[in-house]
């Protein structure tokens, strides 16, 4: 008890003394002076001569300086004193060598900044749990084992309700309507009409996720029933943007698609539906999905559930494997068997990105390694130049540990400054990324520098400091004292060992850069191949805008309205073609049943569903889709004429193999349609995956789910946006100010994840190349400096400028080629590991490898040429006189 109190007290006093050095030293000096005076007096009294009295007093006292040192150590914080001393010294040396310090800090900042930024992305998408309550309990359910378009992986209301009723694994199963486009709303009565993006969710959607409203309340059961009071929840950002964050809006009615709807609440800013369920989209409003209205719409619900505590996903999977066939057996009229695949929601959201992100993480890790190797190299050069300084310090009594410590302090200071600047860079990058709504990566909008990222920063800064600081400091402190003091630093043999280490560092640096470049090359080739894919339509110079019309659900009226809209749109100067479709390729999709009439499908020959598009005449041409056989729809295809369908080649081959499909009768959702055309396959759901079966139906003979007006123009389509909207408004004043989307932007959105990864890896590879070339330059330049004399002698003996240059460049290339050899072998192994990320590109793609070798050699040549030129300009007279 006494002991601990005393220890605590002492600790506080020590801290106090640390800040009161001068007064305490003055006090001690006075005390010691008094001590000696007393001793001398006593000695004089004993009869000693004055000199002897004072000599003996000093002997007995035993060293004033030591006593003062002991005193300081006993009273203060010696470790901290030492650290401060090291720091002061470090700052002094770094200030003296500003060029070195700023280059080092800049390089570190780039390396560390890139690492923090990538870590933040990885952490957000991959590592951090989803922003819901107990997210590990949330499970995504996909019908048809998750294979196929939206219609395949979704459920009917009946299937949903039956599963909800009979399962035992889930606390609750909830759903939403993933056909967002159908539920686009028009906000009127507040400025000009506006399109707002909304999603219909089951009444228990938010409670199941554990999302609580910021203001107001969630939906009541009454609001989720047919005929109940219309209610809407606002997303936080829409509330801020549209209603200026006015809390009074809760309880008021707004006009949505011409109906008054009561705002019942505002969701928290942390809830972003799009970032989890529809990356790249932002939802403005949420409305209740009224199940009775969905009963006859087929597979229209996406299901997710919350497991009971202690139930694993595998158990839920086992249950559904047994349960669904039972439910199906009880409902002979269902057309799907709902073979369900259960995935943890987190896996569903980001599982596909795991490998890409890990690759990205590795790439950025390589960058940090290159940075460390580079700095190690720079520091080694410095250590060599400072050999005398260290020798002097150790001659003055500094132990080896003391010098290692000093050098590590320098590394830490550099790493610390680099980390600080790196944080700034990472902050800027994440800020930018979080605002890139067009990149279809989940959760990207929530990327930020959080505590985990800060901890990661600290970790990599320390690791980097240890990595790049240790070798040089051990090397620096281990130098032979006498040699170092004697030598003027231009020694020939003493530097050999040093040079070998530096050469090894450069070789590994080049090797690492080589791996990065090959990886980037492969990904870039893949990306170019993706851009080169024949989409089946021509995205450039075409654009789409959502249109609004009211046909009262009558096909005759719809035909007239759409024809009129198209007539007016086509009349706008510059517009070459126009057409209307319900769903754009790569944007949304739905499927319907398609088979050849009269054909008996064998076992295992599932007729399957086809992607279904309801279009007007002119749409195919406006999109640049190619009719291979037969004709486009015309306005003569009316509700009363023979129903007609156009299929794609995949569908034609599947259902009429070896026959001409034209003129044959297809069963579309059970009705007879005559095939009048075959078009080239369109990449409807993904740029990278093969097209599936597709069918196109005229808008006068089938019912569309929404309407997109597509126009093709000679001029860039953006230029037409305002005149087109004016025309639409003139026809229908209710037409909302919808987004005018170039078709190219839809394609860009689809390939944005790949573009994102390629861009980052390419940037890292460029950074790696730059750093490697700096490293090469540094080493060669340094060795030229060291060999000034030698070169001078050789030139005096008749070596030509050219010979000297060739010598230096030859040395450079030897290093670089060793690095390339090492890197190429490593790349061959690494490339196989990223094979899954490549698109129509072999992991051994010769172009990527050859390009890397050429690029690295060329850059190395430049990096070596500059010092070589300097070497050849050495004036022998000056060089020889130099020492």
Partner 1 sequence: MPEKKLDLLQGTLDLMVLQTLAAMGSLHGYGIARRIEQSSGDAVLLNQGTIYASLVRLQQRGWISAEWGTSDNNRKAKFYSITKRGRKQLAEDAAYWQRLSGVMGRVLAMQGEGGDR
Instruction: Return the closest-CA partner of residue 444 out of 24, 731, 118, 858.
Output: 118
In whole angstroms, give the CA distance from residue 713 to residue 306. 49
Write each residue from 8 to 47 as x if it is in contact with partner 1 (CB under 8 A), else as -, in one continuous string.
Answer: -xx--xx--x---------xx-xxx-xx-xxx-xx-----
Cβ-based nearer residue to partner 1, 27 or 556: 27
Write each residue from 281 to 300 as x if it is in contact with partner 1 (CB under 8 A), else as -, in one continuous string.
Answer: --------------------
Stretch that binds partner 1, among 70-78, 260-268, 529-537, 684-692 (CB under 8 A): 70-78
How many H helices and E strands in the chain?
29, 23
Cβ-based nearer residue to partner 1, 79 or 488: 79
For 135-154, the three-class secondary structure string (H helix, E strand, C coil) is HHHEEEEEHHHHCCCHHHHC
Q: Which of 43, 75, 174, 632 binds partner 1 (CB under 8 A)?
A: 75
In whole angstroms, give the CA distance from residue 51 to residue 59. 12
Cβ-based nearer residue to partner 1, 48 or 64: 64
413: exposed, middle or buried (C-beta count within 10 Å: 0-12, 13-18, 19+)? buried
CB of 32 to partner 1, least distance (A): 7
Q: Interface residues for partner 1 in 692-721 (CB under 8 A)? A: none
CB of 507 to partner 1, least distance (A): 53
* Angle ∠(264,270,271) on CA atoms, nearest 5: 55
CB of 26 to partner 1, least distance (A): 12
Cβ-based nearer residue to partner 1, 75 or 475: 75
CB of 84 to partner 1, least distance (A): 20
Whether 387 contacts 397, CB under 8 Å? no
CB of 53 to partner 1, least distance (A): 14
Whether 165 contacts 197, CB under 8 Å? no
CA 654 to chain centre: 40
Cβ-based nearer residue to partner 1, 37 or 318: 37
CB of 482 to partner 1, least distance (A): 34
Cβ-based nearer residue to partner 1, 27 or 672: 27
Stretch that binds partner 1, among 67-75, 451-459, 808-816, 827-835 (CB under 8 A): 67-75
Cβ-based nearer residue to partner 1, 74 or 459: 74
Q: Which of 74, 463, 719, 847 binds partner 1 (CB under 8 A)?
A: 74
Alpha helices (H) along 834-875: 846-872
Tokens 């309205």 -> residue: 561
SS3 540: coil
Q: How many residues bind partner 1 (CB under 8 A)?
A: 33
Q: Which of 25, 26, 49, 70 binds partner 1 (CB under 8 A)?
A: 70
Cβ-based nearer residue to partner 1, 57 or 108: 57
Bridge partners (DSSP) of residue 667 are: 595, 672
Instruction: Return the closest-CA partner of residue 361 out of 110, 111, 118.
Output: 118
Cβ-based nearer residue to partner 1, 67 or 634: 67
**To which H or E segment does residue 610 belong?**
strand 609-615
In whole angstroms, give the CA distance from residue 771 to residue 760. 16
For 733-777, the three-class secondary structure string (H helix, E strand, C coil) is CCCCCCCEEEHHHHHHHHHHHHHHHHHHHHHHHHHHHHHHHHHHH
Binding status of residue 67 toward partner 1 by CB under 8 A: yes
**To which H or E segment does residue 341 belong?**
strand 341-344
Cβ-based nearer residue to partner 1, 39 or 380: 39
Q: Which of 20, 26, 46, 60 binds partner 1 (CB under 8 A)?
A: 60
CB of 111 to partner 1, least distance (A): 45
CB of 1 to partner 1, least distance (A): 10
Binding status of residue 79 toward partner 1 by CB under 8 A: no
Cβ-based nearer residue to partner 1, 1 or 244: 1
**Positive/negative CA dihedral, 363, 369, 372, 378:** negative
What are the residues whose beta carbons fall under 8 Å from the beta carbon of 683, sequence distance 6 or more? 533, 535, 536, 585, 586, 689, 691
CA distances from residue 129 to 123, 345, 415 in whole angstroms, order as listed:
9, 10, 31
Cβ-based nearer residue to partner 1, 57 or 614: 57
Instruction: Return the closest-CA partner of residue 680 out of 651, 648, 652.
Output: 648
CB of 49 to partner 1, least distance (A): 20
List of E strands, 449-564: 542-546
CB of 29 to partner 1, least distance (A): 11
Cβ-based nearer residue to partner 1, 74 or 858: 74
**To which H or E segment does residue 404 belong?**
helix 400-434
Q: Which of 18, 61, 100, 334 binds partner 1 (CB under 8 A)?
A: 61
In whole angstroms, give the CA distance from residue 797 to residue 374. 36
Q: Which of 49, 66, 85, 270 binds partner 1 (CB under 8 A)?
A: 66
Binding status of residue 55 toward partner 1 by CB under 8 A: no
Cβ-based nearer residue to partner 1, 35 or 328: 35
CB of 81 to partner 1, least distance (A): 15
What are the residues whose beta carbons fall under 8 Å from the beta carbon of 241, sequence distance 6 or more? none
CB of 19 to partner 1, least distance (A): 14
CA distances from residue 477 to 89, 101, 130, 390, 717 in whole angstroms, order as listed:
16, 21, 50, 7, 68
Q: Which of 20, 49, 73, 496 binds partner 1 (CB under 8 A)?
A: 73
CB of 419 to partner 1, least distance (A): 37
CB of 65 to partner 1, least distance (A): 9
Buried b (16+ CB within 10 A) or exposed e, 446-475: bbebeeebeebbeebbeebbebbbebbbeb
CB of 36 to partner 1, least distance (A): 8
CB of 5 to partner 1, least distance (A): 8
Cβ-based nearer residue to partner 1, 37 or 127: 37
Q: Which of 20, 21, 46, 63 binds partner 1 (CB under 8 A)?
A: 63
Cβ-based nearer residue to partner 1, 4 or 296: 4
Q: 454 is written with which tokens?
A: 């800060």
Judged by the rule CB under 8 A, the positions of this chain that interact with partner 1 are 2, 5-7, 9-10, 13-14, 17, 27-28, 30-32, 34-35, 37-39, 41-42, 60-64, 66-67, 70-71, 73-75
């Amino acid at each position: 008890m006494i002991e601990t109190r005393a220890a605590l007290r002492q600790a506080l006093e020590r801290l106090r003394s640390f800040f009161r050095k001068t007064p305490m030293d003055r006090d001690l000096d006075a005390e010691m002076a008094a001590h000696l005076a007393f001793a001398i007096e006593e000695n004089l009294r004993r009869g000693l001569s004055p000199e002897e009295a004072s000599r003996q007093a000093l002997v007995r006292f035993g060293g004033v300086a030591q006593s003062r040192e002991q005193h300081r150590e006993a009273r203060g914080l010696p470790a901290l004193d030492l650290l401060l001393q090291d720091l002061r010294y470090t700052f002094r040396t770094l200030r003296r060598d500003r060029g070195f310090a700023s280059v080092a800090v800049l390089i570190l900042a780039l390396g560390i900044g890139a690492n923090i930024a990538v870590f933040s992305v990885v952490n957000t998408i991959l590592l951090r749990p989803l922003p819901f309550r107990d997210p590990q309990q949330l499970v995504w359910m996909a019908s048809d084992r998750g294979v196929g378009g939206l219609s395949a992986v979704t459920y009917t209301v009946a299937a949903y309700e039956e599963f909800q009723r009979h399962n035992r694994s889930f606390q609750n199963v909830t759903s939403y309507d993933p056909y967002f486009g159908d539920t686009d709303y028009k906000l009127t009565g507040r400025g000009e009409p506006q399109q707002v993006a909304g999603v219909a969710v089951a009444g228990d959607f938010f409670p199941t996720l554990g999302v609580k409203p910021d203001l107001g309340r969630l939906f009541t059961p009454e609001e989720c029933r047919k005929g109940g009071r219309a209610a809407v929840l606002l997303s936080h950002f829409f509330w801020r943007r549209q209603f200026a964050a006015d809390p009074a809006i809760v309880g008021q009615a707004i006009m949505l698609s011409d109906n008054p709807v009561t705002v019942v609440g505002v969701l928290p800013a942390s809830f972003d539906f799009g970032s989890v369920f529809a990356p790249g989209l932002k939802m403005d409003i949420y409305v209740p999905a009224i199940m009775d209205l969905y009963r006859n719409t087929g597979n229209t619900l996406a299901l997710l559930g919350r497991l009971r505590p202690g139930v694993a996903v595998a158990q839920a999977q086992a249950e559904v494997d047994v349960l669904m066939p039972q439910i199906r057996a009880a409902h002979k009229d269902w057309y799907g068997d709902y073979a369900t695949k259960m995935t943890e929601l987190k896996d569903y959201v980001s599982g596909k990105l795991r490998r890409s992100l890990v690759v990205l993480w590795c790439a950025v890790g390589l960058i940090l390694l290159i940075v460390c190797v580079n700095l190690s190299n720079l520091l080694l050069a410095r250590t060599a130049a400072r050999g005398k300084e260290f020798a002097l310090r150790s001659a003055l009594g500094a132990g080896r540990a003391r010098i290692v410590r000093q050098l590590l302090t320098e590394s830490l200071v550099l790493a610390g400054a680099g980390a600080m600047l790196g944080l700034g860079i990472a902050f800027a990058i994440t800020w930018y990324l979080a605002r890139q709504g067009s990149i279809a990566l989940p959760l990207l909008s929530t990327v930020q520098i959080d505590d985990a990222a800060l901890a990661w920063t600290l970790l990599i800064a320390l690791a980097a400091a240890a990595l790049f600081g240790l070798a040089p400091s051990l090397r620096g402190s281990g130098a032979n004292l006498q040699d170092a003091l004697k030598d003027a630093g231009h020694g020939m043999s003493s530097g050999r060992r040093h040079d070998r280490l530096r050469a090894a560092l450069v070789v590994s640096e080049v090797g690492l850069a080589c791996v990065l470049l090959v990886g980037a090359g492969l990904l870039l080739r893949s990306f170019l191949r993706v851009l080169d894919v024949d989409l089946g339509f021509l995205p450039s110079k075409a654009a789409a805008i959502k249109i609004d019309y009211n046909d009262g659900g009558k096909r005759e009226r719809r035909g007239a309205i759409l024809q009129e809209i198209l007539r007016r749109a086509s009349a706008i100067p510059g517009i070459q073609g126009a057409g209307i479709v319900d769903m754009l390729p790569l944007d949304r999709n739905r499927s319907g049943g398609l088979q050849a009439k009269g054909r008996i499908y064998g076992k295992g020959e599932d007729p399957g569903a086809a992607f279904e598009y309801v279009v007007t005449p002119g749409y195919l041409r406006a999109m640049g889709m190619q009719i291979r056989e037969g004709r486009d729809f015309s306005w003569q295809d009316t509700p009363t004429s023979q129903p007609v369908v156009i299929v794609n080649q995949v569908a034609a081959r599947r259902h009429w193999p070896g026959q001409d499909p034209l003129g044959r009768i297809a069963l579309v959702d059970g009705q007879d349609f005559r095939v009048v055309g075959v078009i080239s396959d369109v990449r409807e759901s993904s740029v990278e995956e093969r097209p599936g079966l597709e069918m196109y139906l005229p808008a006068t003979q089938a019912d569309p789910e929404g309407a997109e007006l597509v126009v093709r123009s000679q001029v860039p389509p953006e230029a037409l946006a305002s005149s087109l909207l004016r025309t639409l408004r003139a026809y229908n004043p209710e037409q909302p100010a919808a987004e005018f989307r170039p078709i190219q932007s839809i394609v860009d959105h689809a390939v944005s994840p790949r573009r994102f990864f390629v861009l980052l890896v390419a940037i890292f590879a460029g950074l790696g190349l730059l750093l490697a070339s700096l490293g090469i330059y540094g080493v060669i330049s340094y060795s030229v400096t060291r060999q000034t004399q030698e070169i001078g002698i050789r030139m005096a003996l008749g070596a030509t400028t050219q010979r000297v240059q060739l010598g230096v460049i030859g040395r450079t290339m030897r290093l670089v080629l060793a690095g390339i050899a090492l890197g190429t072998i490593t790349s061959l192994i690494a490339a196989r590991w990223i094979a899954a990320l490549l698109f129509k590109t072999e992991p051994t793609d010769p172009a990527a490898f050859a390009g890397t070798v050429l690029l690295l050699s060329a850059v190395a040549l430049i990096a070596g040429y500059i010092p070589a030129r300097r070497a050849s300009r050495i004036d022998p007279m000056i060089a020889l006189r130099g020492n």
